[in-house]
A and B are shown apart, each in its own frame.
Chain A
Amino acid sequence: MLVVTTALFVAAFAAPLVFRRLGRSTFYVLAAVPAAGLVWLLAQLPAVLAAEQTAPTGSDSAPPGFSVPWIPALDVHFAFRLDALSALLGILVLGVGALVLFYCARYFKNDDPNIGPFGAQLTAFAASMFGLVTADDLIVLFIFWELTTVLSYLLIGYARTRIYARRSALQALIVTTFGGLSMLLGLVLLGQLAGTYRLSSILAAAADGVPELAGTAADIAIALILVGAVSKSALVPFHFWLPGAMAAPTPVSAYLHAAAMVKAGVYLIARLAPGFSTTAFWHPTLIVLGLATLFVGGWRALRQTDIKLILAYGTVSQLGFLIVVTAIGTPDAALAAMALLTAHALFKAALFLIVGIIDHQTGTRDVRKLSGLARSAPKLFVVSLLSAASMAGLPPLFGFVAKEAVFESVLAAPSLADGRFLGLGVAGWVLVGIVAGSVLTFAYSARFVWGAFATKASVPATEFRPVAWMFLAAPAVLTAGTVVLAWIPGTVETLAAPYAGLFGESPEPIHLGLWHGLTPALGLSAVVVLGGAAMFAARGAVARVQDKLYPLIDAEKFYRYTIGGLDNVAVWVTGRTQSGSLQYYLMVILIVGGATPAVAAIFMEQPVPLSALAFETPTQLVIGLCMIAGALLAVRANKRFLAVLMVGVTGYGMAIIFALHGAPDLALTQLLVETIVLVAMVLALRSLPARLWESNPSGKKWLRAVIGIGFAAVMVAIAVAAQAGRVADPISLSLPKMAYEIGNGHNIVNVILVDIRAWDTFGEITVLVAAATGVASLIYVRGRGDGGRATADVEPGSVGRGTEHIHSSSRRTAALAIARHFAESAREAWIVAGRTLAPERRSIIFEVVTRLLFHSLLLISVYLLLAGHNLPGGGFAGGLLAGLAFVIRYLAGGRYELAEATPISPGTLLGLGLAIAATSVVGPVLVGGELFQSAALEFVLPVFGEHKFVTSTIFDVGVYLVVIGLVLDVIRSLGSEIDERSEGRGITERHDDVHGTTEGAAR
């Protein structure tokens, strides 16, 4: 049976492609899939019916089924099982599904928008529905259940441009998923109580009277599951979503909202009834809600003027009816319920399809506009009349057979005998309710036929084009089923008998049939027909009564108020908490972040440090005081660069603190980073005004100070506790040995980075690549700005001309003259592109120093990289140093100098670095090792002597290249590109054309 489900899903996925080729005729192809499934299912029937229904899957006498472990830890299996109940539902799902898909081929147009996805969704729905009725695992069942909900949402909302369709879709989704959630709780509870999620095992256990499944917990689980079933099957008080769902295309309504999906609730109740119909909430809930629904649906169907809504409310009513009968829990009632289920699927799907044809051919479904169709569409009329008569319960049709069976089974229901209300037993009330509901059913059936087909005196005859037989075929086949089954009711009885047998033996079993003699049931049928006919005849009076009573309660309004109220509360809460101020958010985060450990510290015992040390060395004291001063001055500074410099002081201080602490790698890295950051800051912030604020608009000075100091105090306390609270040896005690013996390196920190915790480092360099790309994108906006003008084409002295404010004092003029001479004498070319700079921007000393430093720095950086495994250094430090070398080139010779210095673009470097690092990750696997495994290769070079090369250095080379790429991207974006944009203008002027932006207008 998984093959059927899978085939349907595959067809669904392929559908959009086929639609492109075949247009609406694809529906014929799609219809073939469930039809083939139906044939397979019919072939299985003998085995299914002969099987012992309660036997566990896998035993010889069990119905066909199988189970594959899916999530063994949670005891969830892909378990499916095809017993008699599943088979009956499966026949309806696949049969009606095939017919509806067949019908769609004439209902839609080739150029309907989204017809491909629609076909796919409808087919996928058939798959989910079949999966639902065959699933034998609670969780798998739930998944299919929710799949049908989601697909129903998509199918109802097919007309995307109509607000009514969208809203109805959402309403159906919210109501049914609400029920679904409750059901999930119930299913999990039930599964936990039973110790298994296998549905058949749970039911077998419940039938055996296992104590776990009989207590209050089981009652609650079942009640929760019933909420799901009741919401799915549109029972009061959830009934309103079903009429709303009529916004779906009519074939969808016929399939989902008449024959299949809404029956899922009935199926679930039928499935659970053999084990749980005696639990505390079962009868009270289902019988009361069912009868109320039966009545409310029928009552409101009589008021509708849209023939589709008459059917929709009729469906609500019939679902209530079905649930009542299914819930009773006697073998007779079970048989009657199955007959009624079949009858309803046949006539209701047919009637919906007929409504679709009428709508399609006339453009309306309004009874006040339709007139004379009985004459203009005789074939359609005959088909409708038969199906509507079956719905009303008229002989000799299957609807009559089913209803007779229901009357008989309720008359003979012994389990409902106890308990009386207003002098009538429960069975009596059920009977009264059913008869009253059936009277209403008869009345609205008549109203439907009259509304759709009658010739109304005051309405001109509606234009109706002849219907193609292909279009009429589907409802005609369903109606033929209604007629034929009435004469061979034994077929349905055979199908349903194994299921009914689960409820034990009936003392006087009922049988389906057209004629049982003059029985009380026949009398009730006569009452129904007479009552219904009278109601239809007096429809004017009935309508007046309805107008007076209506609406007593409107569940839909209640739903709308609830949802509207929820929306308003959400808006209110959002408005109160989301002020849009980053400052405010940060304050909240920091206060919570500081207060949480502070509160914990108050209530829990804290470790107290045994000894305290003022400072370790005098150097440390001096540096510490400098850092404190720097940080405080950074806060006070109102000039941008002063603040930047003061922060720089703390950064350099950190480097020395690290060095004193025994962390040379950190000291080196911090030193290099601090230098590059300082340059980058100056380059980026030069476009901004020198002063920070005239008046500080941030406000809340004291509050910010309190938060800052408070948070700092908490962090200090944490640091103290961390030091004083040491109880165990640090895990790093084993690291030195590991680093040397396994990682083959003396520098433990470097081995941690490239070997022991290399995954972290790999993640980090990926972040670096992302940040570098981000910087380049933010500045260049379009692309990475790779490539550009060749230095040779640049006019000497053209770069940066006129941007410096050179005053006209004579000394400066003299200096300028020297500079010009220097600039123009090509012989002493210390750096490649120095001549492109404006003379006043050049410095001979800087150029010479650059010339001397650049290559040395690059060499040292390579040394740091290679030696880093054993000495301070490594890829990060090496890369930063190399980056710094490029920064110096840029500062000395401007952007063309930088371009000359970097024949490879930063983007390529980043990619290359990442690729090399990735290779060193995967490489070992290719030679049979593990990810990141390293090895040491020892070799002797003629001049350099004995050497050891550790393969993790390759990873470090990747890191090295990524870091160079990052630095280059930063310097190129914040340096070169901003230079170019500001060329010839004051640097703080606007130099980036963004259309339509003036002060703040980009907001």
Chain B
Amino acid sequence: MTTTAILASVAEDVSDTNDPMSINVLLLLVMGVLFATGIYLLLERSLTRVLLGIILVGNAVNLLIVIAGGPAGLAPLYEKDIPPEEYADPLPQALVLTAIVITFAVTAFMLALIYRSWVIAKRDEVVDDDEDLRIAEKGHFDVEEDAEVAADTSEFTQDDVDAKGARP
């Protein structure tokens, strides 16, 4: 028996009892916990924890998509005599598959960021943006921009006039 066949047979056991409109409380609970913990970590200042939060939220979203796609079913491997509604919905699976790989890429990128942040600044945390803080403390716009400036009464400096006067 191949792995696929085992997986398919497991799925078959459960698919009989499933009504498409029924909900699975356990999966919902798992998803809820993943979301809650993920967001809790995401809102931390520690970059490592933010990354872990992203991974948890990523898992939660993948689970959400799979749950929303309907109840469990047969592995979506086409056989002529199986009616299409017997399969687990393949479309959300394709979406989630790309999402898993993308999450991997994002995770790797975040890891590189964490490393660089640590190497440069010995920091593993998200600090407030200095520029934003500077603007927040400021009451008004740059004064120099608003000051009155005398109009010029010539486009030419004296040097220009001398140089050009010679050969107008």
A570 to B138: give the CA distance in the assembly, Å. 11
Partner of A666, one of B23, B100, B140: B100
Report whether B37 and A635 are in contact in the complex, using a CB–CB cutoff of 8 Å.
yes
Report whether B160 and A363 are in contact in the complex, using a CB–CB cutoff of 8 Å.
yes
Closest to A756 in B: B94
Report whether A662 and B8 are in contact in the complex, using a CB–CB cutoff of 8 Å.
yes
Q: Is A250 an interface residue (CB 8 A)?
A: yes
A724 to B28: give the CA distance in the assembly, Å. 13
Within 8 A of A (CB), among B18-57: 18-46, 48-49, 52, 55-56
Q: Is A790 an interface residue (CB 8 A)?
A: no
Report whether A779 and B115 are in contact in the complex, using a CB–CB cutoff of 8 Å.
yes
A560 to B156: give the CA distance in the assembly, Å. 28
Q: Give every chain B residue within 8 A of A59 (Cβ-Cβ).
A: none
User: Knowing A571-B139, A616-B14 touch, does A704 contact B40 (C-beta < 8 A)?
Assistant: yes
Report whether A723 and B21 are in contact in the complex, using a CB–CB cutoff of 8 Å.
yes
Report whether B152 and A247 are in contact in the complex, using a CB–CB cutoff of 8 Å.
yes
A781 to B108: give the CA distance in the assembly, Å. 16
User: Knowing A621-B26, A632-B37 touch, does A748 contact B104 (C-beta < 8 A)?
Assistant: no
Report whether B149 and A698 are in contact in the complex, using a CB–CB cutoff of 8 Å.
no
A688 to B37: give the CA distance in the assembly, Å. 23
Contact with B along A933-971 (1 / 0, CB 8 A): 000000000000000000000000000000100100110
Within 8 A of B (CB), among A961-1003: 963, 966, 969-970, 973-974, 978, 990-992, 994, 997, 999-1003
Partner of A876, one of B26, B70, B101, B140: B101
A467 to B59: give the CA distance in the assembly, Å. 81
Closest to A576 in B: B136
Interface segment among A121-129, A324-332, A673-681, A798-806: the answer is A673-681
Partner of B15, one of A164, A662, A876: A662
Q: Is A795 an interface residue (CB 8 A)?
A: no
Report whether A580 and B100 are in contact in the complex, using a CB–CB cutoff of 8 Å.
no
Contact with A along B141-166 (1 / 0, CB 8 A): 10001100111111111101101111
Per DSSP, chain B at the interface is helix
Contact with B along A728-747 (1 / 0, CB 8 A): 00111111110110000111
Would you mind naming 23 contact pairs between A and B with Cβ atoms under 8 Å apart? A359-B156, A365-B154, A575-B138, A609-B21, A610-B19, A613-B17, A614-B26, A631-B37, A657-B63, A662-B76, A666-B93, A666-B97, A677-B55, A696-B44, A715-B35, A716-B35, A719-B31, A739-B90, A764-B98, A764-B102, A990-B122, A994-B120, A1003-B121
Q: Give every chain A residue within 8 A of B90 (Cβ-Cβ).
A: 732, 735-736, 739, 748-749, 752
Q: Give every chain B residue within 8 A of A654 (Cβ-Cβ).
A: 59, 62-63
Per DSSP, chain A at the interface is helix
Closest to B167 in A: A468
User: Knowing A613-B24, A685-B114, A739-B78 touch, does A624 contact B30 (C-beta < 8 A)?
Assistant: yes
Report whether A748 and B76 are in contact in the complex, using a CB–CB cutoff of 8 Å.
yes
Most buried by A among B22, B75, B123, B137: B75
Report whether A616 and B56 are in contact in the complex, using a CB–CB cutoff of 8 Å.
no
Partner of A670, one of B4, B85, B100, B105: B100
User: Knowing A669-B97, A749-B94, A778-B113 touch, does A716 contact B105 (C-beta < 8 A)?
Assistant: no
A651 to B151: give the CA distance in the assembly, Å. 69
Partner of B7, one of A109, A465, A634, A664: A664
User: Knowing A164-B152, A643-B48, A735-B91 touch, does A677 contact B104 (C-beta < 8 A)?
Assistant: yes
Within 8 A of A (CB), among B54-102: 55-56, 59-60, 62-64, 66-70, 72-79, 82, 84-85, 87-91, 93-94, 96-98, 100-102
Report whether A719 and B59 are in contact in the complex, using a CB–CB cutoff of 8 Å.
no
Q: Is A435 an interface residue (CB 8 A)?
A: no
Within 8 A of B (CB), among A872-920: 872, 876, 880
Q: How many residues of A contact B (CB 8 A)?
A: 170
Q: Give every chain B residue within 8 A of A779 (Cβ-Cβ).
A: 112, 115-116
A363 to B158: give the CA distance in the assembly, Å. 6
Chain B's nearest CB lies how many Å from the CB of A693?
Answer: 7
Q: Give every chain A residue within 8 A of B35 (Cβ-Cβ).
A: 708, 711-712, 715-716
Chain A's nearest CB lies how many Å from the CB of B118?
Answer: 6
Q: Give every chain A residue within 8 A of B11 (Cβ-Cβ).
A: 660-662
Within 8 A of B (CB), among A740-785: 740, 745-749, 752-753, 757, 760-761, 764, 767-768, 771-772, 774-775, 778-779
Q: Give every chain B residue within 8 A of A465 (Cβ-Cβ).
A: 165-166, 168
Report whether A579 and B78 are in contact in the complex, using a CB–CB cutoff of 8 Å.
no
Report whether A164 and B151 are in contact in the complex, using a CB–CB cutoff of 8 Å.
yes
Q: Is A692 an interface residue (CB 8 A)?
A: yes
Q: Is A644 an interface residue (CB 8 A)?
A: yes
Q: Give every chain B residue within 8 A of A664 (Cβ-Cβ).
A: 3-4, 7-8, 75, 77
Chain B's nearest CB lies how many Å from the CB of A618?
Answer: 11
Report whether B168 and A360 are in contact in the complex, using a CB–CB cutoff of 8 Å.
yes
Closest to A999 in B: B122
Report whether A775 and B104 are in contact in the complex, using a CB–CB cutoff of 8 Å.
no
A421 to B98: give the CA distance in the assembly, Å. 78
Partner of B23, one of A106, A579, A724: A724
A1000 to B124: give the CA distance in the assembly, Å. 11
A707 to B44: give the CA distance in the assembly, Å. 12
Closest to A106 in B: B168
Within 8 A of B (CB), among A154-188: 159, 162-165, 167
Partner of A658, one of B18, B66, B70, B87: B66
Q: Give every chain B residue within 8 A of A704 (Cβ-Cβ).
A: 39-40, 43-44
Report whether A876 and B97 are in contact in the complex, using a CB–CB cutoff of 8 Å.
yes
User: Knowing A631-B34, A720-B28 touch, does A609 contact B96 (C-beta < 8 A)?
Assistant: no
Report whether A719 and B64 are in contact in the complex, using a CB–CB cutoff of 8 Å.
yes
Report whether A580 and B136 are in contact in the complex, using a CB–CB cutoff of 8 Å.
yes
Q: Is A491 an interface residue (CB 8 A)?
A: no
Report whether B107 and A306 are in contact in the complex, using a CB–CB cutoff of 8 Å.
no
Report whether A661 and B25 are in contact in the complex, using a CB–CB cutoff of 8 Å.
no
A431 to B23: give the CA distance in the assembly, Å. 85
Q: Is A541 an interface residue (CB 8 A)?
A: no
Report whether B105 and A767 are in contact in the complex, using a CB–CB cutoff of 8 Å.
yes
